[in-house]
Structure 1
């Protein structure tokens, strides 16, 4: 039986509008459906007929129709066309989800903080505001990727990662006097996965590993999940306590030492050349590997030492990332190491997650090579250094003591002393107590014990300088 021709639909389309024709058609049909002008089960004009009626191409109509199918407003029937989807009952308002009040602990910092949007001042977070990132460069790269042939956007990528991107990484490392062949480099799903691959490949239960103390809270959690013996090496304003490293290495014979040489998280400190040499000498004497977690290298100073370059990747495994300078959502990191170790790490990577997203890798490669990335990084580095100086001044004004002088990067590490004032005013609050009070005032704080192997005796906080240059922070600590 031949179906009756669908009644024509006339929309008012503005070809000069910044909203494209697909958006206008989708919005117009959605409005007609919501107003009851188009009813459940009613057949829409064919793609060809709708295009003639509206004076648009069939590809535009197909995209608009398919967009509404994806939203559940239309139903596509093979050989019959597109129909208004049946609505079983009137659409009810979606209840607002009110999550429970957060408990400020390490689990919240590691997971829930990323999705919790209720607190406006994110002084303790670990990422940069979107306006500080190279969004225009990223958008240009996205447009280039979209125009690329379809064959480049489907299928698995290379196990080691997109070759042109790894070549670009190799060239980047050359600027720091580290000559790395491409087959010594593999890409990862962010630097965190890189650390996880190293742990899974090189460490077994009961082994001893060293970490910076304080240090990266995710790394500490990963190592504890791996059931290894984790020992902290104290950070100092000039790097790490090399004498303690030497003594503990002699006693405990570690397999690995995870450390950050430049703009350490959370203290914001960097190694001096002398400190770097003492760490490499200890690694050579006691036979352990050094994992250099160097995700802030681009934001550091030109004379900051790179352990991997000084060592030539003999005992250093180098971990880098572009999350801090391109976009955290891209989740792209990399490892540079000896060729045989790279092969072992790639095997672990393929067992766990297969390859990286090659679309993401092409996107990052495009951003890095389009010609504006270096200028963006220079501007970002200067902005962070200035923000850090301002924030440190605010923290001192509020009664806190910064751990070190500003060197740039995202973080300032500061101690809060409650011993001043009259005894009646002294509260002896813990860092978590203070963080909970701050949350009630609309401020996120990151307590120092999240970053330590054992809770410190003093009250420390990590401050993200991109979010902390606000008077509310000073007023809060003054009120304590």
Structure 2
């Protein structure tokens, strides 16, 4: 706490204003008790009284004699950019997504998170679409079943069993996307102000989504073998987090793989501190051979498995899944009905099941892994010629997490490249602590455009903005 009574009062006022702005306190809701807030913030009760009185004079809260203080002002619209520190848009967790999704068709996107259309199994999707045209009328017109179609859930259950995770179809919920899967879990388990652990660096949309749920996001440094287990245990003890959200296979953005030793230490720490884990398995199909999975080691006791088919099949056909304990699935079904009425689109689920059941899908994945291995090697060589070095060479996938030459700032490089029609992903987009300004994530599958490397070379040579 800052020194001086005036600064302490201002700090209390800022904390209450922040909770009102983030909807942690809704209009008409009673403010924390004077003694309770004083203890939580390490100030005297008189400081809290003075802060509440000043807020009442501003009109932000109302005093009710004999009752206490209550939030008064109507909450402003929730704006994610206003939650947390104000950032340059070039390092805002939403920036890369918006540039990549809204850009013109000829925009080059080595910073985006998906494969080019020509790398996807379009022929299998077209066959599945033709089969869908002969489906029952209800598939094309009705709401979906709350868990999602049984054939796709059975397919997923067989896949999970093959990796040592026995899960029945009744423990699998199909969702509108992988992002919706995390959103539903947050609705079920996270309350405003709860702490959630993430990797540092981590997938940038984890941060944006958690901010939308008004969670306090705490990063744990990520190593080549997974999150630093000692720092993870320290954060779990210090912050008493509700969740930990991570990728186990081919971590985004680093491409690292979780080791068995680190996996066991994470699960032990989670059990010791009553922490739940959300394991996003979206990149599993890109591995040359399976790596440790927290869900399989834990048996879905305190781990929830999520994923989708957007990376290997189609980002246009929105379909994700959640695998969890049966009672959690029941609660998540209710939330999905309440927020989107019904489950995943039957059309989307039928297309996914049809394409994955196609005999060519396995061959597509094998070809994709070989093609990506070549692209990673070639991409690393061409980036190395510019002084851009991979942090590690991943076992699979399409990301390279790279250190820029000394003295270069990734946000400056991204701004310069965008002016020439190239979208890049600067490191601090992924870093909760904003300590990755000298890193950049590259999608090697999106680097075939002849503009990419000349633009990078010019951006590296340009003076800082």
TM-score per shorter chain, which class? 0.7 to 0.9
Instruction: Tell me the matched-pair count.
Output: 370
TM-score, length-normalised on structure 2?
A: 0.76
- 1:464 alignment partner in structure 2: 443
Q: Is the 8 A contact 1:415 1:458 kept in 2?
A: no
Residue pairs, 1:150-165, within 5 angstroms = 150-165=137-152
* CA distance in structure 2 between the partners assigned to 1:197 and 1:438 by the alignment: 36
Residue pairs, 1:3-152, within 5 angstroms = 104-106=90-92, 107-117=94-104, 120-152=107-139
1:283 aligns with 2:278: no
Q: Cα–Cα, structure 1 residues 307 and 205, in superposed 2: closer, same or farther, change >3 Å?
A: same
- 1:181 alignment partner in structure 2: 168
Q: Cα–Cα, structure 1 residues 193 and 457, in superposed 2: closer, same or farther, change >3 Å?
A: closer
TM-aligned CA deviation for residue 119 of structure 1: 5.3
Question: 1:329 is paired with a residue of what secondary structure?
Answer: coil
TM-score, length-normalised on structure 1?
A: 0.74
* CA distance in structure 1 between the partners assigned to 2:105 and 2:167 by the alignment: 45
1:452 aligns with 2:431: yes
Q: Cα–Cα, structure 1 residues 112 and 353, in superposed 2: closer, same or farther, change >3 Å?
A: farther
Structure 1: stretches of 5+ with no match in the other structure: 1-101, 420-428
Q: Is the 8 A contact 1:256 1:291 kept in 2?
A: yes
> What CA RMSD, in Å, does the superposition of the two structures yield over aligned residues?
1.8
Q: Cα–Cα, structure 1 residues 122 and 223, in superposed 2: closer, same or farther, change >3 Å?
A: same
Q: Is the 8 A contact 2:301 2:325 kept in 1?
A: yes
1:331 aligns with 2:318: yes
Q: Cα–Cα, structure 1 residues 474 and 109, in superposed 2: closer, same or farther, change >3 Å?
A: closer
1:248 aligns with 2:235: yes
1:390 aligns with 2:372: no
- 2:29 alignment partner in structure 1: none
* Cα deviation code 1:28-80 (max 9, x no counterpart): xxxxxxxxxxxxxxxxxxxxxxxxxxxxxxxxxxxxxxxxxxxxxxxxxxxxx
- 1:207 alignment partner in structure 2: 194
* CA distance in structure 2 between the partners assigned to 1:473 and 1:111 by the alignment: 19
Q: Cα–Cα, structure 1 residues 145 and 446, in superposed 2: closer, same or farther, change >3 Å?
A: same
TM-aligned CA deviation for residue 268 of structure 1: 1.3
Structure 2: stretches of 5+ with no match in the other structure: 1-87
1:400 counterpart (372, 388, 406): 388
- 2:177 alignment partner in structure 1: 190
2:299 counterpart (299, 308, 312): 312
Q: Cα–Cα, structure 1 residues 341 and 472, in superposed 2: closer, same or farther, change >3 Å?
A: same
- 2:9 alignment partner in structure 1: none
Q: Is the 8 A contact 1:319 1:336 kept in 2?
A: yes
* Cα deviation code 1:286-339 (max 9, x no counterpart): 110111011011111323111111111011100011111110001111000000
Q: Which protein has the larger Cα radius of gyration, Structure 1 or Structure 2?
A: 1
Q: Cα–Cα, structure 1 residues 136 and 306, in superposed 2: closer, same or farther, change >3 Å?
A: same
Question: 1:231 is paired with a residue of what secondary structure?
Answer: strand
TM-aligned CA deviation for residue 152 of structure 1: 3.0
